[in-house]
A and B are shown apart, each in its own frame.
Chain A
Amino acid sequence: MNTALDLITRVRGVRGAMLVSAEDGLVIAEQLMEGIKGSAVAALAASLAGRLRRAMEAAGLGTSVFWHLQADQGTLLVVPAASGILVVAVAEADVNIGLVRLELLRAGEAVA
């Protein structure tokens, strides 16, 4: 699991990566820069993922493959893996989204 997170945190601009249980929002593994509250981020990411999943299902868009929250000073990127684990990355606003997405998808396959 840490190898999967390593690949994500190596991407320039990524401040941390986590594996989170989608069901209860608990941290499974994490590699975070100092100052990031892992447990709180995990809980909120799981909650947001759950709400987004229900909205997407209601819209007939199927299950979510990848999503990212853009904000003024950073971004949160998430891949829901098949195993019920969320692969989460916290990154700078100018990070290469496409690259992080690829690494998150790879990590998602590795932990599935």
Chain B
Amino acid sequence: MAEDVRALSAQLAQDPQSLVFLRLAEALRRKGQLDAALRVALSGLERHPHLADAHDLYARVLTDKHDYERAFDEWDMALRIAPNHTGALKGLAFLYFKVGDLAQAEAHLELAKRIEPDDPSISQAVSMVRGGEAPPAPSAPAAPVESEAAPVPALDEARVFAGLEGAQEGLVLLDAAGRVLGGALRNPAGADVTDAVAAYLAGVSQEAARTAKLLGLGAWSGLSAEGRQGNVHVSQPSKDALLLVVRDRGMPLGRLAILAQRATAMAKRWLEKQ
């Protein structure tokens, strides 16, 4: 583990903007180096204030330090950013149990169970709460956040983008606050990066609107970007929603724009039905 901390520290020093701080702070927390974990988590949170996983991590460290009030606020914030964040739901359930509010503890765990029905730890925690036992203290996901290839949480991709190519790995529909409405996004390593990208994209949308307005270009209709490992197209199916389509570099920007048009039309229909 000590080697992990050194390696992760080196990675973070090399790229302070990366999400490796999540793994580093968790490694420090597991080693019991809570002050160091707190510093890393807080520093990461300052760089990524809209990342639900960062608030979840910070809350876990605060819980270890018995600062339950601030931990509650952080998990509450994580849920505002990502309402389906099961780590935050489990964390809040733990805190509710601590103050004797068994009904709220169970309600939060039940919600987590609906989101991740195959997670045995949640079912176990529900049983423990019903039996009057404290649920396990919140812990990080088994696999590191950046490299995990766990199943994507139950999102609404089937309803929003049914039949569209890549609906479960390269299409995401967001609301104006960057919360995921449907779809999912994986990076080339297969890890689910939906929430992290969603948080950044909310800001992109506002900047795009301001830029187009200032240039007198009218309303913006799309933003296409070519990356070294893949291409992306962002559009607005409605005033309060944002659609992101991501594909590898094998799909040229022009073709990506056509695919994005189809996805935008589907998203529009879905939004109108809601």
Contact = CB atoms under 8 A, between A and B. Distances in A.
B119 interface: no
A74 interface: yes
B232 interface: yes
B240 interface: no
Contacts of B203: 51
B226 interface: yes
Interface in B212-228: 212, 214-228
Contacts of A59: 185, 187, 193, 197, 230, 232, 246
Given A37-B214, A41-B211, A55-B201, A60 B193 contact: yes
B214 A58 contact: no
The secondary-structure label for the interface of chain A is mixed
What's the interface size class on A, roughly?
35 or more
A48 interface: yes
A32 to B, nearest CB: 11
A76 B211 contact: yes
A65 B246 CA distance: 15
A60 B214 CA distance: 31
What's the interface size class on B, roughly?
35 or more
Nearest to A56: B227
Interface in A31-81: 35-37, 40-41, 44-45, 47-48, 51-52, 54-76
B265 interface: no
A70 B223 contact: yes
Contacts of B200: 51, 54-55, 58
Contacts of B224: 67-68, 70
B220 A71 contact: yes
B214 A67 contact: no
A36 B203 CA distance: 24
Given A54-B17, A56-B227, A65-B227, 14 more contacts: A41-B215, A44-B214, A51-B204, A54-B200, A55-B232, A57-B18, A60-B189, A61-B227, A64-B227, A66-B225, A69-B217, A72-B221, A74-B215, A76-B217
8 interchain residue pairs of minimum CB distance: A60-B187, A72-B218, A62-B228, A61-B227, A71-B217, A67-B225, A55-B200, A74-B217
Interface of B: 17-19, 185, 187-189, 191, 193, 196-197, 200-201, 203-204, 207-208, 210-212, 214-232, 246
